Amino acid sequence: MAVELEKYQDILDELGEHAGEVLRASWGEAARVFSPRGLENHYLKGAVSLKSLGRGTDLVVSFIQRAPAVARELGEDAVSDLLAAAIKMYSKTSAAVIAAIFSTSPVAAARLGDPELFRGYLHLLDTLLAQAPRGVRPMLDHLSTLLGQLTLGGLRRWALWGAQAHKTNFDGQQKYFSLESPESIGVLQKERKGTLFIDVQRRIGMYLRALWGRDFFMRPTSGDFEQREGYRSYIEGYIIHFPDAYDDFVSPTPAGAETRIPGIELYRASAAHAACHQVYTTRQFDSIGLSSLQMALTGLIEDARVEALALAKFPGLMHTWLPLHTATPQSGDGAAALMARLARALLDGQYRDDHPWVALGCCLFRERQAQPDVAAWVRDIGLVSRTNCLRWG
């Protein structure tokens, strides 16, 4: 590796003695995680561009030391994003703050776990430098604690609340972003999520591997960046995207109490369901000409189909999915309630629902479940169900 680095003697000379020595010490790890192109264009030229800013050596050294860890977590393009953001921010803050951004970037990369979320985090830092410039450094000092409890959306709301509340109070900014004020702790507790995906990703991966004997690619997505309502899991290409956090699922019991399902169980249920689609959904459904209600009903039928196939192989999955189906006739006769009631009826053979639309959906599903042209019959049931849903719902 040292011989290869000598090809860039001009860069070593330009960086200076101290930064050059740090580069030599970091070269082995960098060469393992960067491609040859990324090593030259992102890593080496990135260090030179920071040196050319004339803001001292500390930020250059910090970049050289931490960039390989970011590349290892998120890929070398994330290092390019980090470098571009730092150069954009350098005129707004001190070299010490930029060095701190580099120093803490591996924490952000590891806790966020997705390049898109990492870009959102960098944008948040740029926003804070404009709204609460004296809060950025103390926030970075506590970044591990903050991202250990908050999603990116939660961090954003916590930070912007403090920026707005202490817009002209610099001492208040310092205390808030240092987690030294009661209001800072209060907002933190309000935004805290139950279970972060990054904390359970490995366990979920092992769970799916134990079921299916294969690996599944998973990434978090910011389901609550603007509000606390998370998105549902979805599949794009070969990757399953999960909300970056789940609160516990709480539902009332007939006796007036409540049941609570922990976030980790929600991840298991969601992951098992998404894996069913990757295993059993072999054709893309044609949605041309379908309304949003028709697409939702077609999706509901396909969900029931893949879950039925999985349950035939793994009956224990019923204990994972069934507690999340809480719809009853008392839920109402609106379209959303009827769809929830039908979803439960298709999963739970012991559930009884006398509504004619729910009964029709179950009857059509069981009559056509064994037909070979899956895409056609799933779509047909969705269309028939939609027509009757409008009539009865």
* CA angle (27, 122, 163) in 5-degree steps: 140
Nearest to 64 by CA among 7, 11, 113: 11
Name the residue with higher pLDDT: 372 or 388.
372
Q: Is the pLDDT of residue 159 over 90?
A: yes
Residue 386: its pLDDT value, please?
Answer: 56
pLDDT tens digits, one per residue of 223-245: 655 444 446 788 988 899 998 88
Nearest to 92 by CA among 140, 137, 133: 133
Percent above pLDDT 70 for the chain = 90
Q: Please tell me the distance from the alpha carbon of residue 351 to that of residue 357, in angstroms, as a whole number.
A: 15
Rg (CA), the chain: 26
Which amino acid, residue 171?
D
Residue 89 and residue 126 in contact, taking contact as beta carbons nearer than 8 Å: yes
pLDDT tens digits, one per residue of 359-369: 888 888 888 87
Where are the domains positioned within the chain?
2-131, 194-280, 289-393
Structure tokens at 346: 């298709």
Nearest to 133 by CA among 94, 178, 87, 104: 94
Could you give the C-alpha distances from 72 to 24, 50, 98, 174, 315, in angstroms and in order? 18, 21, 21, 33, 39
Phi-psi region of 31 (alpha: psi -120 to 50; beta: other; left: phi over 0): alpha
Cβ neighbourhood burial of 351 (10 Å; 0-12, 13-18, 19+) = middle
Give residue 42's pLDDT band: very low, low, confident or very high (50, 70, 90): very high
> Helix or strand or coil: residue 219?
strand
Nearest to 145 by CA among 117, 184, 201: 184
Q: Please tell me the distance from the alpha carbon of residue 105 to that of residue 23, in angstroms, as a whole number.
A: 18
This prediction's pTM: 0.81
pLDDT tens digits, one per residue of 169-197: 889 999 999 999 999 999 999 888 789 99
